């Protein structure tokens, strides 16, 4: 079966095969800066297809597929059910097929989002407390995921600061250096690294399953139920998800009330929020250009000069 230049692969034992003769676009489209999306009618109901024709799209969608599966497995918050990753005939580009949800703008109390996000973050900690063999005790993920289009290094690490410095910030700085756009950020970052242990004094970082890119644009509701989507998941510090929330203005106090009802705030949270926003500022700089240069450098300087 071919659609939009993509062919659904067959013979995959671990994924559902889209067994349909009918695959008709409904005219309902969506998308953003990275991908295009469209809803199709099939013999088994409607599906939503996200597509991207760049090299590396298959890896991106396989990571999103795994992220959606992992979040769904917690039962903490609803996400679209992923069905299949498909590849183009040429090998350039891929698509992610998932259940089609009639999403509308999310207007419910942000308290619900805060509470459900905290339950997602708490899920693995509860497994650890129960000594459940499925609990994850390291930082990383079993597959490469992406934040935007750029792949993330999810190689497992035992230490969170080591993971964050070398698996998150270092690759972003190297990308900028390779493009000749570093403008001295490595020197500023080197000063900030010296202060990182102080940001985590008296803080026990337990691996949490993260959404990875949660902001208001990745939330919606379906028949009154909250839905989050477009994840780039991994196991990391629960506070990491606040970096992108802070960058794009966040949610109102009710969101934080809901979250803190489940996970109380720890001392030094604001400084660590700056640290986690840094990844997203640099990632946006690498994706969309120098419009994010000034904010990235200002944040780096604040981190390097702060008195915790």
Kindly report, residue by residue over 8-62, the tens digit of the pLDDT.
433 332 234 567 777 777 766 666 667 888 888 888 888 999 999 888 999 999 9
Per-residue pLDDT averaged across 276-298, rounded?
Answer: 95
Mean model confidence pLDDT for the chain: 89
Using the predicted structure, report yes or no on whether residue 154 has a pLDDT greater than 90. yes
The structure tokens listed for 252 are 């109102």
The structure tokens listed for 79 are 């996400």
In sequence order, the β-bridge partners of residue 97 are 49, 84
- Domains of the chain (ranges; CATH) run 2-99 (3.30.200.20), 110-305 (3.90.1200.10)
pTM (predicted TM-score): 0.91
Instruction: Tell me whether residue 124 is exposed, middle or buried, using C-beta atoms within 10 angstroms of its C-beta: 0 to 12, 13 to 18, 19 or more.
Output: buried
The structure tokens listed for 118 are 């905290």
Using the predicted structure, report yes or no on whether residue 131 has a pLDDT greater than 60. yes
- 3 or 108: which leads in pLDDT: 108
In sequence order, the β-bridge partners of residue 140 are 235
The structure tokens listed for 89 are 């005939």
Q: Is 82 helix (H, G, I), strand (E, B) or coil?
A: strand
Note the pLDDT of residue 104: 86
Indicate which residue of 41, 112, 213, 241 is catalytic: 213
Note the pLDDT of residue 197: 93
Known catalytic residue at 213: yes
- The CA distance from 169 to 276, in Å, is 9
Give per-residue pLDDT as tens, 241-273: 999 999 997 788 999 999 999 999 999 999 999
The owner of tokens 């792949």 is 151
Under a CB-based contact definition with an 8 Å cutoff, are residues 65 and 82 in contact? yes
Using the predicted structure, report yes or no on whether residue 306 has a pLDDT greater than 70. no
Identify the weakest region by mean pLDDT among 38-47, 79-88, 210-219.
38-47
Note the pLDDT of residue 73: 98
Under a CB-based contact definition with an 8 Å cutoff, are residues 221 and 107 in contact? yes
- Contacts of 264 by beta carbon, 8 Å cutoff, 6+ apart: none
The owner of tokens 């970096």 is 243
Identify the weakest region by mean pLDDT among 122-126, 195-199, 228-232.
195-199
Note the pLDDT of residue 36: 81
State what percent of residues in the chain have pLDDT above 70: 89
Note the pLDDT of residue 117: 98
The owner of tokens 């067994």 is 19
Note the pLDDT of residue 33: 65
Give me Rg for the CA atoms of the chain.
20
The owner of tokens 């902001």 is 215
- Which among 64, 11, 8, 71 has a CA at the least distance from the CA of 40? 8
């Amino acid at each position: 079966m071919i659609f939009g230049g993509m062919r659904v692969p067959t013979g995959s034992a671990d994924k559902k095969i889209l067994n349909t003769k009918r695959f008709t676009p409904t005219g309902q489209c969506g998308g953003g800066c990275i991908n295009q999306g469209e809803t199709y009618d099939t013999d088994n109901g409607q599906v939503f297809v996200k597509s991207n024709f760049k090299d590396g799209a298959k890896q991106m969608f396989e990571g999103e597929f795994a992220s959606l599966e992992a979040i769904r497995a917690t039962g903490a918050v609803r996400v679209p059910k992923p069905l299949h990753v498909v590849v183009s005939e040429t090998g350039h580009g891929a698509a992610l097929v998932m259940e089609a949800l009639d999403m509308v703008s999310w207007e419910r109390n942000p308290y619900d989002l805060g509470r459900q996000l905290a339950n997602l973050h708490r899920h693995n900690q509860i497994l650890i407390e129960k000594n459940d063999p499925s609990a994850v005790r390291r930082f990383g993920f079993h597959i490469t995921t992406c934040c935007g289009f750029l792949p993330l290094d999810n190689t497992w690490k035992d230490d969170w600061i080591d993971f964050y410095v070398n698996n998150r910030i270092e690759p972003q700085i190297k990308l900028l250096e390779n493009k000749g756009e570093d403008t001295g950020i490595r020197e500023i970052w080197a000063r900030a690294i010296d202060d990182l242990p102080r940001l985590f004094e008296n803080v026990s970082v337990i691996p949490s399953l993260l959404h990875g890119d949660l902001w208001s644009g990745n939330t919606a509701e379906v028949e009154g139920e909250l839905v989050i989507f477009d994840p780039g998941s991994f196991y990391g510090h629960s506070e990491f998800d606040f970096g992108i929330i802070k960058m794009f203005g966040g949610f109102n106090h009710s969101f934080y009330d809901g979250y803190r009802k489940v996970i109380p705030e720890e001392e030094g949270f604001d400084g660590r929020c700056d640290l986690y926003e840094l990844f997203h500022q640099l990632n946006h700089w690498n994706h969309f250009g120098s419009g994010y240069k000034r904010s990235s450098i200002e944040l780096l300087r604040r981190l390097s000069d702060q008195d915790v």
